[in-house]
């Protein structure tokens, strides 16, 4: 099973000053050349992620250093999403991978802070095209040792769904109560409790595999 982190398991975005990160990036001459799917993130968050999506190499490294600084501050104040403990208990014996747009340092901090144990971690890093590209999903599958048809991904954004779909992985969307979204999957839950029900009963995941 593949899991997004921010606003799927833990709320980091609302505690991260992405607007300050954006101002610093724009002062440094960074601007997005491409844009990922529209989603419900704040405008600053979306523009920051579009900038990172547009870059590679040394330019990406410089921009990532800026963003990671603010994400580390947000990670220290991050809060669990509703029903996190219930969800983790429900899928306790299922092999799990985190696939996140956060960079590795804040990701590791958040997982430790909130007691989230996983088998595999694929965070934002140089050389791996981020979600909505399928690359991090495929890397997580490789590390788990399973194929796309054996896996399911849980996420809260259209970027998550785009990455899962491109990788051939079933997707469970968590809306966090928002009434409007662009998810195409038939598996839509309002929160992690609903996602656990879908995983266990509709998709019938089993501890012996990643599904």
Parse the chain into domains and list their residue ranges: 2-11+79-202, 13-76
> What proportion of the chain, given as a percentage, has pLDDT over 70?
98
Reported pTM: 0.95
CATH of domain 2-11+79-202: 3.40.50.1000
Q: Is the pLDDT of residue 208 over 80?
A: no
| 3-class SS of residue 79 | strand
CA-CA-CA-CA torsion sign (36, 37, 43, 44) = negative
CA distance 21 to 26: 9
Pair 127, 57: CB distance under 8 Å: no
How distant, in Å, are the alpha carbons of 54, 85, 162 from that of 22?
14, 33, 24
pLDDT recorded at residue 207: 64
Residues 6+ apart with CB under 8 A from 70: 16, 17, 18, 20, 21
pLDDT band per the 50, 70, 90 thresholds, residue 21: very high
Give the tokens for residue 151.
Answer: 């896996």
- Phi and psi at 127, nearest 5°, equal 95, -10
| Model pLDDT for residues 130-157, shown as the tens digit of each residue | 999 999 999 999 999 999 999 999 999 9
pLDDT recorded at residue 211: 37
CA distance 137 to 158: 14
Measured at the alpha carbon of residue 65, what is the angle toward residues 109 and 27, in degrees to the nearest 5? Answer: 135
CA-CA-CA-CA torsion sign (43, 186, 9, 142) = negative
Q: Which alpha helices (H) appear in the chain, and where do they start and end?
A: 18-27, 43-54, 57-76, 84-90, 104-113, 135-144, 158-167, 192-197
Q: Is the peptide bond before 132 cis (omega within 30 degrees of 0)?
A: yes
Give the residue with greater pLDDT, 145 vs 208. Answer: 145
| Model pLDDT for residues 71-128, shown as the tens digit of each residue | 999 999 999 999 999 999 999 999 999 999 999 999 999 999 999 999 999 999 999 9
Q: Counting Cβ atoms within 10 Å, is residue 200 exposed (0-12), middle (13-18) or buried (19+)? A: middle
Pair 101, 157: CB distance under 8 Å: no
């Amino acid at each position: 099973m593949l899991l997004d982190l921010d606003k799927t398991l833990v709320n980091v975005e609302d505690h991260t000053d992405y607007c300050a990160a954006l101002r610093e990036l724009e002062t440094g001459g960074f601007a997005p050349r491409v844009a990922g799917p529209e989603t419900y993130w704040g405008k600053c968050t979306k523009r920051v992620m579009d900038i990172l999506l547009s870059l590679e190499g040394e330019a990406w490294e410089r921009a990532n250093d800026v963003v990671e600084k603010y994400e580390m501050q947000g990670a220290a104040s991050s809060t669990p999403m509703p029903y996190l403990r219930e969800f983790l208990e429900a899928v306790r014996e299922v092999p799990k991978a985190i696939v996140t747009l956060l960079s590795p340092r804040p990701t590791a901090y958040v997982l430790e802070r909130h007691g989230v144990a996983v088998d595999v971690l694929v965070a934002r890093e140089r050389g791996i095209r981020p979600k909505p590209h399928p690359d991090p999903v495929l890397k997580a599958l490789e590390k788990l040792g399973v194929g796309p048809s054996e896996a399911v991904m849980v996420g809260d954004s259209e970027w998550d769904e785009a990455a899962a779909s491109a990788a051939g992985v079933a997707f469970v969307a968590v809306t966090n109560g928002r009434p409007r979204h662009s998810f195409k999957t038939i598996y839509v839950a309002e929160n992690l409790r609903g996602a656990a029900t879908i995983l266990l009963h509709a998709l019938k995941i089993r501890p012996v595999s990643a599904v």
